[in-house]
Amino acid sequence: MAKNTSYTIRKRGEYWQANLSRSVTGGKRVQKNYKTKAEAIAGAEKELGKLRDYGREYFNLTAEQFHSCAEAFRILTEKGFQATTIAEAARFYIKHNDPNAQHRTVAEVLAEFMQSKTSAGLSEFTIRDYQYKAGRFANAMGERLIHTITPVEIEHWLDAVDAKACSRQDYRRILCVFFKFAVTRKYAMENVAAAVSKVKIAQRSPAILTAQDVRALLCAARDYNMGHMLPYFAIGCFCGLRPWELRRTSWADINLTTKQIYVTPEAAKTGQDRFVAMPDALMAWLQLVPAASMSGCLRYSRNEFDAVRKQAGVPWQGDIMRHSAASHLYAQTQNAALVTAQMGHGLNVFLKYYRRAVTQQDGEAYFKVGPNDAQEHVVPFSATPA
């Protein structure tokens, strides 16, 4: 019998047997039969070479596992993942297919998410925003399990939505909140939405209406369909309430004696109530509103809203009435604290997103726009819609 510290060669009947030392293989019994002693020695040396190249794990793999590894490499290569190892692929698979995870579809998690946020007492505005944006994502993903969603898929979905930079950033923000909720509930292992690249938003001055624009807009609102939308546009232009706040404002919240509007917690975007002062120009426009129409919430109709804007022929962007009121009030008063209290947001938000440079003269002119400036446009409230 030939012996080596790593293996032994012995005669077994008509064959020569090569046995690798268990201390070398880590306890695994490795032996093979050969026709000649020389072949046995060569075979043992070959096995030792595999041990040096592949480690002890090599001797624990079955033939089926070897074939599976080869198949895995073939698949990765065909799909363009030549640099990816099987270990990396396995870790990725476990990460997204944890057998201990509580499997939930995107739609199921959305239902829990919305119930949780509603129970937390968030404002109706926020709830609607979550429902719309996260809901669109859930509709697109169908019955996909949430823990199988990848950052690349979210990014491709955002590309398909084709939203502008600000809207895309809002979608990403809400999806981050949504996936964070899923992680907290143990439905996903990580917040994959956070891995989606942020959008760089070019800073630009907000669009605002001039005094002439406001005059044209309010005259158009006064003349269209018996002036039903006039209070909505007038309060928006002079008080700067958010569109959602305008729709939630009731005539019971408008005190024509103290010249104040009470923005309720339910109407406010932030959930914080506030009082907003009404300038004299607004009071003059509201005098055109029949007393019989001063009940319930402010009139709002999307069709009438679009018709008035079209008839006025003024430029328009989102929140333009709010931006206009804030910019002109600051120009008139030079008092940022007063403006932020009126608008219901912080100083940094005002300076970054709402303020546009306006001269004090233009600011004063803006808040002097009254219905008597264009009497030739006056039509009776009994007029039919334009």
Report the pLDDT value the prediction gives residue 377, as an integer from 0 to 100. Answer: 39
- Across 211-234, average pLDDT: 94
Tokens of 185: 């509930």
Q: Give the 3-state secondary structure of residue 173.
A: helix
Residue 20 has pLDDT above 90, yes or no: no
Tokens of 138: 């859930």
With b for 16 or more beta-carbon neighbours within 10 A and e for fewer, the 285-314 pattern comes to: bbeebeeeeeeeebbbeeebbebbbebbeb
- Read off the pLDDT of residues 294-320 as tens digits, 9 standing for 90 and up: 999 999 999 999 999 999 999 888 889
CATH of domain 106-195: 1.10.150.130
- Read off the pLDDT of residues 313-341 as tens digits, 9 standing for 90 and up: 998 888 899 999 999 999 998 888 888 88
Closest CA to 170 of 141, 149, 193: 193
Tokens of 65: 């596992």
Helix axes 302-312, 211-223, angle to 10 degrees: 130
Show me where the domains of the chain are located: 2-96, 106-195, 211-377
Residue 206 has pLDDT above 60, yes or no: yes
Report the pLDDT value the prediction gives residue 302, as an integer from 0 to 100. Answer: 93
Report the pLDDT value the prediction gives residue 348, as an integer from 0 to 100. Answer: 73
Closest CA to 306 of 220, 216, 212: 220
In this prediction, residue 383 has a pLDDT band, given cuts at 50, 70 and 90, of very low
| Secondary element (H or E) of residue 103 | none
Amino acid of residue 150? T
Burial of 53 (0-12, 13-18, 19+ CB in 10 A): exposed
- Read off the pLDDT of residues 275-289 as tens digits, 9 standing for 90 and up: 999 999 999 999 999
Q: Which residue do the tokens 């990580």 mark?
A: 190
Q: What percent of the chain has pLDDT over 70?
A: 85
Find the range with the poorest average confidence among 1-10, 67-76, 245-254: 1-10
In this prediction, residue 382 has a pLDDT band, given cuts at 50, 70 and 90, of very low
Report the pLDDT value the prediction gives residue 198, as an integer from 0 to 100. Answer: 82
Q: What class has domain 211-377?
A: mainly alpha
